[in-house]
A and B are shown apart, each in its own frame.
Chain A
Amino acid sequence: MGILKLLLSYLSIHPSPLRNPSTSLHLSQQAPAFLSSSESAKDTQETWLIYEQLLLSCLRTGDDNSARLCLQRLSDRFGVDSARVKALTGLYDEATSRSRGELEAVLQRYQDILKEDPTNMPIEKRRISLLLSLGRTEGAIKALTSLLSHSPNDAESWAHLSSLYFTQRLYPQSIFCLEEVLLILPNAYNIFARIGEVTYISASAGASNADQIEAFEEAIKYFARSVELSEWYLRGWYGLKLVTGKLIQAKPSDGTLGKMESLNQLATEKLVQIVSKFRRNVKGWTGFDEAEVLAAKDLIDRDEQKISR
């Protein structure tokens, strides 16, 4: 297979290669081969997407030379003034900078670009990430809020803002942002699970007992919705099992106890199935994230120990 096809098929199996160190490494190792091949000169949309992914993965693994070459070719094709190319150049400079002073210089450059052209969204987003890397979370939150005031349909930014609020322990605001994401993407089952998680965490962090129970019930509803939308969603079942377990412990007697126990059992069954099939490498069941499967196994074992005691 030509190297272009190879890379495309790799990216279709691993759509977000940068999440995982091993896939990023794998991808960046292909970079020198791709860059020196003749197929890299093809002018199709797919080729340029591959260039972008290669650039990001090479920066991730430290292969600055290949990254530089990718960036060069991208700017030759699309011009140095294209918004996206400017953002990628900024990203390259951030990644290869060696001192805080250099990072501040890049930040200043972003502010200048934005002063000239306030509609440049990729640069706005880069500026927010850079503020975060410099540790200025409040500045990043302010910048994100101003981005969202003129582009309230950007689900990615709402999700980012939610995670920032979460790091600052501002749970109601975090949930507000996640709800905005739901308004844009109503079938995002992962967001439902996330709201469940944030609700559970904020309840455990400090409410009174009665409020805790109410919050747990709400979290359970969110997790239930996420698995209603996606039958084998591991995070959803994990959350269900965990929170129903806590609720059963906390509430001695109530009409809904039966339902909670059935839910707990259902969640346990599903998790057991996922874990066993993943372990045995059954076809079609190997797409789960290994760390998540290990956590699920851990939870199952913990609860079994409790029962056997």
Chain B
Amino acid sequence: MATIQAQTILRDPQLFYWILFPITAVMVLTGVLRHYATVLMQSDPKKQELNAISEQRNLLRGVNLRTNHNQIPLSSFIARKNYLVAAYNRGDFLKDPDNKGKPPANPMTDPAGMDQMMSMLKGNMAMMVPQTLIMGWINAFFSGFVIMKLPFPLTLRFKSMLQSGVATRDLDVRWVSSLSWYFLNLFGLRSIFTFILGNENSADQMAQQMQQMNPAGGNAMFAPGQDPNKMFLAEAENLEVVGGQHEWVLDGVVDRLLKTRV
């Protein structure tokens, strides 16, 4: 099979002004709009009670001990470990000691959970609504023709997605329609948004996706769907495990220092 001759199509130079620019301009503007809309829609962080704060921070203390246990001598570590493990097992830091055995609060009924779910929902809406609108607009106005040639080859499977309006069998997959220009922009404009809006802008969908895929991140401890007692017990176990391998960072430090002298 030889489609060695490159397929060339003559294109109207006006294409450039009437299609590529407008799509990019619209996407940049909606990105900026979305960013500011998200900023305005964010509700203030909810004020927490002292015992809730105490619960979270004391759990963090256990995590810190586990992470940095090599910085303190073994005896200090053991003293702290024993104290914390005993306290966690007894449930000393729990906000509601009576709720020990009960299942975690249902986000639907618990007001704290509600707020968090609402803000997640708002974020997702802010993402999806503009995307759908723009895609619909492009399909309505810019379908039925190809506008550019991709510099890299692709397999045949992409044909249906990237050449949506043009139903030909022989046309090389490298010729794509304006919808693919939209997709290219979607991923490529991230750096432009970072330039215009500063680092943590909400027009960045990648960061959001990564946050969703990383539930073990900071929010896990404070999410209402978790049972604090179980977390304390888990942390107590972790501390017991880590106690076996303690290498004080000060062991051999004099030798290390003298070695650098050479």
B61 within 8 A of A: yes
Which A residues touch B261, using CB under 8 A?
262, 266
Which B residues touch A228, using CB under 8 A?
253, 256-257
A294 within 8 A of B: no
Q: Is A182 a contact of B257 with CB atoms below 8 Å?
A: no
Q: Is A183 a contact of B68 with CB atoms below 8 Å?
A: yes
Which B residues touch A153, using CB under 8 A?
57, 60-61, 64
Q: Which of A152, A176, A262, A263 has the most CB of B within 10 A?
A: A152
- Assign chain B's interface to a size class: 20 to 34
Q: For the complex, what is the distance from the CA of A263 to the CA of B257, rounded to whole Å?
A: 8
Residue of A nearest to B251 (CB): A221
Q: Is B57 a contact of A225 with CB atoms below 8 Å?
A: no
Known interface pairs A150-B50, A221-B253, A225-B250; A182-B68 also in contact (CB < 8 Å): yes
Q: Is A222 a contact of B57 with CB atoms below 8 Å?
A: no
Known interface pairs A119-B50, A149-B54, A151-B57; A227-B72 also in contact (CB < 8 Å): no
Q: Is B57 a contact of A150 with CB atoms below 8 Å?
A: yes
Q: For the complex, what is the distance from the CA of A202 to the CA of B61, rounded to whole Å?
A: 28
Q: For the complex, what is the distance from the CA of A263 to the CA of B258, rounded to whole Å?
A: 7
Which B48-75 residues have a C-beta within 8 angstroms of A? 48-51, 53-54, 57-58, 60-61, 64-65, 67-72
Q: Is B47 a contact of A119 with CB atoms below 8 Å?
A: yes
Which A residues touch B72, using CB under 8 A?
179, 182-183
Which B9-59 residues have a C-beta within 8 angstroms of A? 47-51, 53-54, 57-58
Q: How many residues of A contact B (CB 8 A)?
A: 24
Give the contacting residue for B254; candidates A119, A186, A259; CB below 8 A.
Answer: A259
Q: Is A182 a contact of B50 with CB atoms below 8 Å?
A: no
B76 within 8 A of A: yes
Q: For the complex, what is the distance from the CA of A263 to the CA of B253, rounded to whole Å?
A: 11
Which B232-262 residues have a C-beta within 8 angstroms of A? 249-250, 253-258, 261
Q: Is A119 a contact of B258 with CB atoms below 8 Å?
A: no
Give the contacting residue for A119; candidates B49, B69, B70; CB below 8 A.
Answer: B49
Q: Is B250 a contact of A266 with CB atoms below 8 Å?
A: no
Which A residues touch B54, using CB under 8 A?
149-151
Give the contacting residue for A220; candidates B57, B58, B254; CB below 8 A.
Answer: B254
Give the distance to chain B from A58, nearest Cβ to Cβ, in Å.
Answer: 31
Which B residues touch A227, using CB under 8 A?
257
Give the distance to chain A from B232, nearest Cβ to Cβ, in Å.
Answer: 14
Residue of B nearest to A191 (CB): B71
Q: For the complex, what is the distance from the CA of A300 to the CA of B214, rounded to whole Å?
A: 55
Q: Is B253 a contact of A225 with CB atoms below 8 Å?
A: yes
Give the distance to chain B from A261, nearest Cβ to Cβ, in Å.
Answer: 11
Residue of A nearest to B49 (CB): A119
Q: Is B258 a contact of A259 with CB atoms below 8 Å?
A: yes
Q: Is B250 a contact of A222 with CB atoms below 8 Å?
A: yes
Q: Is A266 a contact of B258 with CB atoms below 8 Å?
A: yes
Interface 1/0s, chain A 34-58, versus B by CB < 8 A?
0000000000000000000000000
A21 within 8 A of B: no
Q: For the complex, what is the distance from the CA of A185 to the CA of B70, rounded to whole Å?
A: 12
Which A219-244 residues have a C-beta within 8 angstroms of B? 220-222, 224-225, 227-228
Q: Which of A119, A259, A262, A266 has the most CB of B within 10 A?
A: A119
A sample of 10 cross-chain residue pairs with beta-carbon separation below 8 angstroms, ordered by A number, consists of: A119-B53, A151-B57, A152-B60, A153-B61, A183-B71, A184-B68, A186-B70, A221-B250, A225-B250, A263-B257
Residues of B with Cβ closer than 8 Å to A? Answer: 47-51, 53-54, 57-58, 60-61, 64-65, 67-72, 76, 249-250, 253-258, 261
**Additional A-B contact list (14), CB under 8 Å, known A183-B65, A224-B254, A262-B258:** A119-B47, A119-B49, A150-B58, A152-B60, A182-B68, A182-B71, A221-B253, A221-B254, A222-B250, A224-B253, A225-B253, A228-B256, A262-B261, A263-B254
State the 3 A-B residue pairs at the shortest beta-carbon distance, nearest first: A150-B54, A186-B68, A152-B61
